[in-house]
Amino acid sequence: MTNTQHPFTSITTFREQFNLGLCQLLDKQQLGTFILCLANASNDPALFKQFKTQLKSQYINLLDQIQTALNNGEHINAVERFEVQRYENVR
């Protein structure tokens, strides 16, 4: 499969590209993307196995960041914005 293949070519292609997108989001190291990836991985054993190490590492890092911020009386800004890849000419 190439990166330019349309995601709606087949259900397999859609799932592969969706999971690839999740993997890219997981690299963002943000609370919102962590929750999104964890929610999807918790419903797909193969995806959970693929993401498990990275999810665990992010959980530990996010927990430490949030606990430190709260202990220091800091405001937690958990709302993030991220770019969504758009496909032109979807019919």
| pLDDT, tens digit (0-9, with 9 covering 90-100), for 12-24 | 888 889 999 898 9
- The domain tally of the chain equals 1
Domain annotation covers residue 17: no
Q: Which domain holds residue 69?
A: 29-76
User: Residue 37: how many CB atoms within 10 A of its CB?
Assistant: 25
For residue 9, the 8-state DSSP code is S
Domain annotation covers residue 85: no
- Residue 44's contacts (CB-CB under 8 Å, 6 or more residues apart) are none
The pLDDT tens digits of the residues spanning 4-49 come to 577 788 888 888 899 998 989 988 888 889 999 999 999 999 999 9
User: How many Å apart are CA 34 and CA 80, to the nearest integer?
Assistant: 11
CA atoms within 13 A on the CB side of 61: 13
Segment 53-76 mean pLDDT: 92
- Residue 85's contacts (CB-CB under 8 Å, 6 or more residues apart) are 21
Cut 0.75: pTM above it:
no
